[in-house]
Structure 1
Amino acid sequence: MYLPAARHFEISEQTRSLLKHAASTTSVSSEKVVSEDGKKLKPSAVLEHAKEARRRIREMWSSFEVGERQIGTKRIFDIEQDDWLEERILVEIDAKSFGQGAIRECFRMKEVNMQERSVPQSPNPDQEVVSFGDISPSARSVGSDEGSEGGFFLVANSLLEMRHSERRRLYVAKRSMQDFQDLDQHRHDCSVDVMHQAMAKHYAELYNQSLRTKLQGDSGHFPHLIDFLLTHMIELEDGRTFGAEAFLFGNYIKHNNNSGGTMGAKKTPQTFSYFTFVKSGRSLMVVDIQGIDDIYTDPVIHFLPCHASGSFRKADSSVNLGIRGFALFLWSHRYNDVDRTLGLPVFALARSELETPVPEQGTCIRDLNAGVGVWDLTSRSGHGNSNVGSSDKVLLSSAPDLDLRASSWDLSFNRPKSSVALPLDLVEAACHMEIAAMYHEGRLSPNAASLRTRAELEAAIFHTAEAAKQGLPEALLALARLASDMDHSDFLPQVSSTDAERPLCLALLKTASNLGVLAAHGAVARLLVDGVYSDKTEEALLVAANCLEKYASDASETGTVPPEPLKHEVCCRHGCSFGWDAHGWEPHSAYARAAELYEHELRSRPGSWAKSRELWSLAAECALEDPRLAKQAMRYTEKAEQEELEEAPAPCDEADRQDALVLRLQGDLQERFQKFAAAFTSAEDALERLLQLAELAANTAAPDASEDLPTAPLKDAGGSSAAPLKEAEVDEDIWALLG
């Protein structure tokens, strides 16, 4: 169970350090202290600030309009036990809100002591009350001299804060401004907010632990720790619900938002967001970091519900952008010293992105989904950032830091089939693809979709390639389309390629096919069968036959259909074929074409005849499922049964095929040829003599050349050679046979 840290009700680490430094000086009244922002402050000035803070706190709560006391239930989410802890309380909630945000409004709330049945009274702003709060006796025994460390620190601490009994019961109650009247929905929303903040607090503890470990033994640095307020939910007996958290006084600062915006130069909040993404195995990211000093509240968590566990699996909300939320932060985040200290990996960005400043703020979710640009890349001056119209082209090979040779790509992925649409090891690749898609859609630029800058197009190519290198199926198909000479108007139409990228196109499609992408099966088969981007070698045709069989098998499967993933659980181009599904195959025709390949082009391979019969049978089964293909099914069946009608010749070696001679003659022609061949040593010699005589007859320029032709050896009854045959002695029917 994560309880509120004591720091929630104390001064910040920066102020504590400032006060200690001032108290340790010999001349407290004259010593000037330099704060982190460069301002010189006297200790007396620090005390004045503390007094002013306390006065403003009292003023804020002095206008509290006491409402009716109500009995309710306080519910706190224990993230370790994945369960809710409950207790009965009495509360008073202010009648009017004192602040509003984009989604919620805030009310002052006081918790009633159930034993005393009393509410802490609003403090009198004119009464000076000095309370040492939770400071240990050893610290108090130092003395009350403001010139000493203990006295100065204790007085400042007491002036800054309310009484311990008061401050532990002053809360801020929050409710939605839109759907709070829908009691069930608002109750769910409040519980989700509480669970999200509990999860953020859990990761803050992990962040602090990791930072302490990394800086252990480093005397030159001290850990800059963070924390989140512990929130709980108040359920009143009338059905209303509120989210509640401890009241903190100070200036709230927003450091980033949930749509890629970064506010200010402080590195710790940005690193914490990135830390949560890495530490969670790329399953969630805590963003919208805001609060006082390094005590944060009201975070937003982008996460993938399919990879969540326990109660958090049902803690989805409208502000969860999932993969797009991850991508927006990663696109705007710049690797910093704190990232390096924690040993966080680098998320690859294009050269043009690294050369541009970080966007200082993002758009709201509504504008982002409507296509309003987050950041204008065209504002960057420099070479290569000119606008590219719809009719202009940017070569794929012009993208910097990108090798498009197929031999330089390692496309061997051994990934088991996953039960979810997007495995965790592909989340980072999906973020790259999401960034490329947002460049295409104009979400990262205010320009029209048909007008991209060269830098944007190069960045889109870079992120598509990064996603493909990690084996994301839709990225493999997208980059293959860009590397082809085929239409890709649905994705980066301004990019063109040359013949040098065609081998990469085929290699990417083969990889997608090996990963089980249906459209890739058919596309690879079509390119190889037609001899596009590759010669029609036996090896290529064998790959084509295998792809045809896989396509027909997968396309005709009628098993259990996996559930459709939520929109934010995958990249926006998840399942997109980028035009590769226009290959023209149907399951029955794919089986039939594979059968033809084994029957003809691959007939020299062992078992090819039996394989072709099997594929013809499968083609017939697929065709029979459609009544319109009845005639086609009959033809496939005849092909499958052809083996029973005519025995296929036994396979033989290449040398045997060259030496074998098969001569089939019908009727009396066979008998007459046998009589003619009887005068020769073999039938081959007889046929050779006939061919020589045929050539002689066709040669009208040398009518007497027959006398000089070599003669085939003849045999008589005694085995001696006989006289050569003359042209007139050859049977006329045999001449007719030879044409």
Structure 2
Amino acid sequence: MVVVDRTVSESSDDIDIRPLELEDLRRRVDESDDECPSPPVNGSNRFFSVVYRSGLQKRKEQPLSRKFIARLAWKNAFMKVKELADPWKKFHLDAYKTEKACRHRYNALRKTWVTDEVVVKMEDHSFNRGAMRECFRMKKLSNFSKDDWKRAHNYVAKRYMDTSTPREIYFEDVKLQMDAKLWGEEYNRHNPPKKVDIFQMAVLEMVEREGSPLYHLEHFIEGQYVKYNSNSGFVRCEALRMTPQAFSHFTFERSGHELIVVDIQGVGDLYTDPQIHTSHGDNYGDGNLGTRGMALFLHSHRCNSICESLGLTPFDLAPSELESCKKNFQMSCQTMVRGTEEIVVSPSEEQKEHIQDYIRLRSLSSGYHSGDEKSRNRLDSIGSMDSLECDDRGLSESDDSVVDSARRERRYLQLPRIRHDSMAVDSGTDTETREKDLNQFKDMVRRKARPSHVLGEIEHRKQLELLEEHRNKTGGSALGQIHLDLAKYHELNRFVEESETYDHDAALYHVRQAANCGCLEAIRTMAQLHLCLQHDILPDLELDDSTCDPEIGFDHMLMAAEANDRAAMIYISTAFETGIGLPESREKDWEKAVYWIDKVINTHTGDEDGNFDGTMNDPQYQLVARQASMYLTGGHNLTKDPNKAGELFSWAAELATEAMKGKLASKYFMQAEEAWAECEE
């Protein structure tokens, strides 16, 4: 049977299809394209087999070919790395003296130290130095090789140039970096487009040298060293990256505003020497600027696509601040999100049912997603090999400043770099215990995570008030303090040139946001602004008639009084007593005036911010005398009580005597006698 050649346009019903024979199984692969073999030839007669073509198509789509390409990429990368020579060979470190040293490593999860003995060779003179430390080239002998310095790894030993630096500083620096490394692992667990890592760092104690000097020990990584942001708000524009900024933003939200990892610098996404700001400003050295450091970063940070894919929320900025920074921060960034990132705020069904154990805002604000819209892949272990199959949608050239050739080969695989996790230093910890500790840390940060915007903070505080009956309504908000710090930075002209005037609207905006978050100092300032009173923050700022609202001012003052601010209590009591400063919607109420005076007298502790105002302008004997006068007269919802008035006047006289106010004490004693006389009548 002869098969006639047909064109593609002819009907498939006219094609004569016969069963496959042995000759049909013989494949002739064209040398120019090993992925697309040419159809088999039977003598001089060509045939077209639909079954054969469909089989070829299936073989093309099989994962085997993708794995094969991946293996070739790995092999190519390995051969290139193998050909690389030791970059420090010319420095002849093997000729230096062999020394024994103690290495102190820190377990960030268990808060413990592990010490072992190592053998090293170190240069006598530093090859580089910074503002505080100098660096030495060093080789460390591997524990798996004996006197084979050719296999020794390259390290950098750093020490403080100031010889008076306390030894504890070295250990504090290691704790800082390893804690930051732990947050890097938590960031990677959410499957971002580019995973990050932070140098494994240790303290090296040279026990054979006089005084046992200390060094910081880090692996040497060859490449271009770039500083992406600083601990004071700097963001590098020349080598703009999305990953470092998203990582810092992630740590702020995931820690529940308790800390933020900044000062991101290093080679690619391998970072070193970070800094951590905490909400209380404790620990982590002098570089910890507390909420002031957080404020500087959040003011300069603009959320990018990675922040959005992780469900991070933008920090609230004034319209004028957003307008002043129209530059698109993603123009020179190449990282592309895959859509498989695990968002930060995504409570499970069990967590949703137990709001007492898992308080989470389900905000309507844009950028703060619930995570129910689409499924997301989850990383069960940090630093594990996810898959050998590649995902073309998740690949981009790179957003790194420098990417070596081996990494470009590896980009086909979408695999994380092999890392030492934060618990790898403790060899005595079994796998089950390590996983348990890691899960506890994940659960802890999952419960703490809160959004960066004020709306989320307000809702969070409302939830807490429902759960805790006697919880303070003000104070304790790191986000509120951050907004207040930004207002103070504006007042100090931090964000303008020396000859320019600071942005009053932006400063007022941040004071208002701080007040919304329950910051007592901001609440008091907003009350003073609307009531046209003297204020310490933004003293040159006054509200015009269109924005000044006595109702808002009095409400803020009342809120401050409820937070045990003594000055606010006295203002509220005076307003209810005299009507001065009372808005039109309220009337004199001596019952409330007596209540607030009594609260002032009986308050002997600080307010909810921890401050105590002795109110020297309103001494206690005057406050008691005011109460006595209102009880003696009666009215405005207060029942007249001459006996109560006499007792209060007598007490005021005793207080005046203690204050060395003899004439005033005599006056109060006389008024007490008059009140009791009126009682007898």
Q: TM-score range by the shorter chain?
A: 0.5 to 0.7
Distance 1:576 1:614, change over 3 A: closer
2:448 match: none
Q: In 2, distance between residues paired with 1:526 and 1:539?
A: 10
Is there any run of 5+ residues in structure 1 with no aligned partner, and where?
A: 1-24, 28-42, 122-164, 213-221, 307-312, 362-401, 403-409, 650-739
Residue 516 to residue 488, structure 1, CA distance change in 2 (3 Å):
closer
Contact (CA 8 Å) 1:617, 1:637: kept in 2 or not?
yes
Distance of aligned partners of 1:85 and 1:639 in 2 relative to their CA distance in 1, 3 Å threshold: farther
C-alpha contact (below 8 Å) 1:440/1:492 kept by paired residues = no
Alpha-carbon separation, structure 2, partners of 1:359 and 1:174: 38
* Aligned match of 1:91: 120
Post-superposition shift, 1:344?
2.0
Cα deviation, 1:363-384, whole Å, max 9, x if unaligned, reads xxxxxxxxxxxxxxxxxxxxxx
1:467 corresponds to: 514
Give the Cα–Cα distance (whole angstroms) in 1 for the partners of residues 83 and 470 of structure 2.
Answer: 59
Q: Which amino acid aligns with 2:599?
A: K
CA RMSD across the alignment: 3.9
CA distance 1:333–1:598, change in 2 (3 Å): farther
Q: What's the CA shift for 1:73?
A: 1.5
- In the TM superposition, residue 527 of structure 1 has moved relative to its aligned partner by 4.1
1: CA distance, partners of 2:125 / 2:646: 82
Q: 1 CA distance for matches of 2:119 and 2:471?
A: 50
Does 2:374 align with 1:325?
no
Partner SS, residue 328 of structure 1: helix
Question: Match of 1:346, as an amino acid?
Answer: P
String of CA shifts for 1:555-589, please: whole Å, max 9, x gaps.
xx3x7x89xx9xxxx9xxx9699xxx989311221
Residue matched to 1:588? 621
Aligned partners of 2:589 and 2:636 also within 8 Å = no
Query: In 1, distance between residues paired with 2:657 and 2:90?
Result: 80
Cα distance, 1:261 vs. partner? Answer: 1.1
Q: 1:527 to 1:497 in 2, by over 3 A?
A: farther
Deviation for aligned residue 1:618: 4.5
Whether 2:657 is the aligned partner of 1:616: answer: no
Paired AA for residue 194 in structure 1:
V
**More contact order relative to length (CA 8 Å, sep ≥ 6):** 2
Distance change (3 Å), C-alpha of 1:645 and 1:197? same
Q: Any idea what SS the aligned residue of 1:647 has?
A: helix
1:171 aligns with 2:155: yes
Q: 1:493-518: CA deviations, max 9, x gaps?
A: 14333284222222211111111112
5 Å-filtered alignment, 1:148-159, equals none
Given that 1:333 and 1:358 are in contact with CA atoms closer than 8 Å, whether structure 2 keeps it comes out as no
Residue in structure 2 matched with residue 696 of structure 1 by the alignment? none
Matched, 1:275 2:245: no
| 2-structure distance, mates of 1:358, 1:68 | 57
Residues 145-180 of structure 1 show CA distances to partners (whole Å, capped at 9, x for unaligned) of: xxxxxxxxxxxxxxxxxxxx433xx21111223x3x
The Cα of 1:545 is off from its aligned counterpart by 2.8
1:295 aligns with 2:297: no
1:600 correspondence with 2:633? yes
How far off its partner does 1:540 sit?
3.9
Distance (Å, rounded) in 2 between the aligned partners of 1:604 and 1:489: 35
Q: Counterpart in 2 of 1:517?
A: 565
1:321-720 correspondence to structure 2 within 5 Å: 321-357=289-325, 423=476, 426-448=477-499, 451-453=500-502, 456-488=503-535, 491-498=538-545, 500-534=548-582, 539-554=588-603, 557=604, 584-602=617-635, 605-606=638-639, 608-609=641-642, 611-613=644-646, 615-626=648-659, 628-640=660-672, 644-647=676-679
Q: Provide the TM-score with structure 2 as the length reference.
A: 0.61
62 and 640 in structure 1: CA distance in 2 versus 1, 3 angstrom threshold: same
Once the two structures are aligned, what percentage of the paired residues are identical?
27
Structure 2: stretches of 5+ with no match in the other structure: 1-32, 36-72, 330-453, 455-461
Secondary structure of the equivalent of 1:291?
A: strand
Return 89-98 or 461-470, whichever deviates more. 89-98
The Cα of 1:230 is off from its aligned counterpart by 1.4
**Contact persistence 2:228–2:265 (CA under 8 A):** yes
Taking the aligned partners of 1:171 and 1:324, their CA distance within structure 2 comes to: 35
Report the CA distance shift for 1:59/1:532 in structure 2 as closer, same or farther (over 3 A). same
TM-score of the superposed pair, with normalisation by structure 1: 0.57
Q: Aligned residue pairs: how many?
A: 471
Matching of residue 202 in structure 1 with residue 182 in structure 2: yes
Counterpart residue number, 1:316 = 284
SS in 1 for 2:302: coil
Please tell me whether the aligned partners of residues 480 and 505 of structure 1 are also in contact (alpha carbons under 8 angstroms).
yes
CA distance in 1, matches of 2:328, 2:157: 30
Distance in 1, matches of 2:470 and 2:279, equals 19
Give the C-alpha shift of residue 91 in structure 1.
Answer: 2.4
Q: CA deviation at 1:544?
A: 3.0
Distance 2:95 2:641 in 1: 89
Are the equivalent residues in 2 in contact too, given 1:77–1:85 (CA < 8 A)? Answer: yes
Pick one of 84, 88, 93 that aligns with 1:54. Answer: 84
State the secondary structure of the residue aligned to 1:619.
helix
Give yes or no for contact 1:474–1:575 (8 Å, CA) kept in 2. no
Task: Say yes or no: does 1:248 pair with 2:221.
Answer: yes
- Distance in 2, matches of 1:576 and 1:435, equals 25
- Verify the 8 A CA contact 1:76 1:86 in the aligned structure 2: yes
2:599 & 2:263 partners in 1: Cα distance?
46
Q: Distance in 1 between matches of 2:87 and 2:128?
A: 17
Q: 1:92 and 1:316 mapped to 2: Cα distance?
A: 30
SS at match of 2:87: helix
CA distance in 1, matches of 2:471, 2:133: 39
Q: Which amino acid aligns with 2:220?
A: F
Cα distance in 2 between the residues matched to 1:330 and 1:486: 31
SS in 1 for 2:679: coil
User: What's 2:197 paired with?
Assistant: 227
State the secondary structure of the residue aligned to 1:495: coil
> Residue 189 of structure 1 aligns to which amino acid in structure 2?
I
> Cα distance, 1:613 vs. partner?
4.6
- Is the Cα contact below 8 Å between 1:485 and 1:497 reproduced in 2? no
| Deviation of 1:235 (Å) | 1.6
- Name the structure 2 match of 1:689: none
Distance in 2 of aligned mates of 1:625 and 1:596: 21
1:594-635: CA deviation from partner (whole Å, max 9, x where unpaired): 222233244763475555455435434533432x12443344
Shift of 1:244: 0.9
CA contact (8 A) 2:206 2:213 kept: yes
Aligned equivalents of 1:342 and 1:598: distance in 2?
Answer: 62
CA-to-partner distance for each residue in 1:517-562, whole Å, 9 max, x for gaps? 12212233344444333279764443333332222333xx3x7x89
Name the aligned partner's letter for residue 294 of structure 1.
D
Shift, 1:428, TM fit: 0.2
- Tell me the residue number matched to 2:360: none
Does the C-alpha gap of structure 1 residues 583 and 117 become closer, same or farther in structure 2, counting only changes over 3 Å?
Answer: same
Report the CA distance shift for 1:596/1:646 in structure 2 as closer, same or farther (over 3 A). Answer: closer
| C-alpha separation in 2, matches of 1:617 and 1:88 | 78
Match of 2:108 among 72, 79, 104: 79
Match of 1:684 in 2: none
Q: Tell me whether 1:108 sits opposite 2:156 in the alignment.
A: no
* TM-aligned CA distance change 1:224 to 1:287, over 3 Å: same
**Which residue of 2 is the match for residue 130 of structure 1?**
none
